Amino acid sequence: MIRKEYSKDLSAMNTFGMKVSCSLYMDYDAPEDLPGIDFQSLPAPVLHMGGGSNLLFTGDFPGTVLHSSIRYIKELSRTDDSCFIEAGAGIVFDDFVRWTCGKGLWGAENLSLIPGEVGASAVQNIGAYGAEVKDIIDRVLCFDTVDKEFKVLSGSDCEYGYRDSAFKGKWKGRFIITGVIFKLSVVPWARLGYGNLASMLPADTSTLSPSDVREAVIALRHSKLPDPSETGSAGSFFKNPVVSAGRFAKIEKVVRDEQGPDATVPHYLQDDGIKVPAAWMIDRCALKGISVGGAALYERQPLVIVNRSGNASPEDILALERLVIEKVKEKFGVELHPEVEHIKS
């Protein structure tokens, strides 16, 4: 069944809390609803939305917002070491994680409490605490709006990268994800090497359960990130830049000129360069906590722009975004790029 609403208020449907609307909103219950939709006749453009937790609406949306209410979780099969679980695209991702942890299955626990829905998790390749959802995606179930047929894509078809996939690039807007098949581990697979996750758990990990790891991740996230039900945000606003060795040397020089020859720059070697935490760069520009209108950088994590007043306008957020990009560029010669998707009005 499809429910349609014209001039729908989206304020409560985007975690930034932007007070915007769309021309037409269509919420559907089942994959079988999709082939009957005449996409050409809908107010354009068409945006498929999940929980609205990675979107910045820059004003009222002139087109159609589609949303999936396909909600089920089921076990498909199991071997001695793996278990295949299928989840509908409209399931809240954290409900899926709670479900798998409750069954003693490993693989999703480090991704606890990431806002949003299962469908979008496969678009975004969500990640946290050293895990990415691509590690547990086996297949993605889709409706192809071009060929007008259902397709099953393998994880490798989706060309996953850091918070990236073919759904955000060459397939943008083409596939509607209806469900995801995850491959979880029946045998213990604790990944505790990232940040201070291990310090939150007992030294003897032999009796650890996925739910123990989930609780530790939730406690860490509560201490660092704003709760979307209290403070509007879209999580990390900027991507961590990957720079060349030459640029990295220049960043080191800037810091050493300021702080002395022993000063270091946090970094992680990647196949394509050197990743430098954007939060660290923003901090070094003395921008922590800065505000523009109702928008501000979150005090505990400068990578996050928050709707501090609850009434921040898209212009406030965009002005703060520009300010951060400009200051970081001025100081380090590095251009930050937003992770949050800007939806044009």
Contact residues toward ligand FAD (CB under 6 A) are 15, 47-55, 68, 89, 114-117, 119-121, 123-124, 126-128, 163, 167, 176-177, 225-226, 228, 233-235, 341
The DSSP symbol for 31 reads: G
Query: Tokens at residue 53, please?
Result: 């937790």
Cβ atoms of 73 and 85 within 8 Å: the answer is yes
**Active-site option among 163, 221, 247, 256:** 163
Query: Tokens at residue 45, please?
Result: 């453009």
Residue-wise burial string across 304-335, b where 16 or more C-beta atoms lie within 10 A, e elsewhere:
bbbbbeeebbbebbbebbebbbebbeebbebe
Is residue 163 part of the annotated active site? The answer reads yes
Is 114 or 295 the residue whose CB approaches ligand FAD more closely? Answer: 114
Query: What does the radius of gyration of the chain's CA atoms come to, in whole angstroms?
Result: 21
Is residue 229 part of the annotated active site? The answer reads no
Phi/psi of residue 100, each to 5°? -65, -40
Is 147 or 258 the residue whose CB approaches ligand FAD more closely? Answer: 147
Cβ atoms of 112 and 95 within 8 Å: the answer is no
Q: What's the min distance (Å) between Cβ of 255 and ligand FAD?
A: 27
Q: What's the min distance (Å) between Cβ of 250 and ligand FAD?
A: 29
Residue 259: CB atoms within 10 Å: 11
Is 253 or 337 the residue whose CB approaches ligand FAD more closely? Answer: 337
**Active-site option among 109, 117, 321, 339:** 339
Is residue 300 part of the annotated active site? The answer reads no
Q: What's the min distance (Å) between Cβ of 40 and ligand FAD?
A: 19
d(CA 98, CA 86): 14
Q: What's the min distance (Å) between Cβ of 110 and ligand FAD?
A: 10
Is 87 or 265 the residue whose CB approaches ligand FAD more closely? Answer: 87
**Active-site option among 236, 284, 308, 313:** 236
Write out the catalytic residue numbers.
163, 236, 339
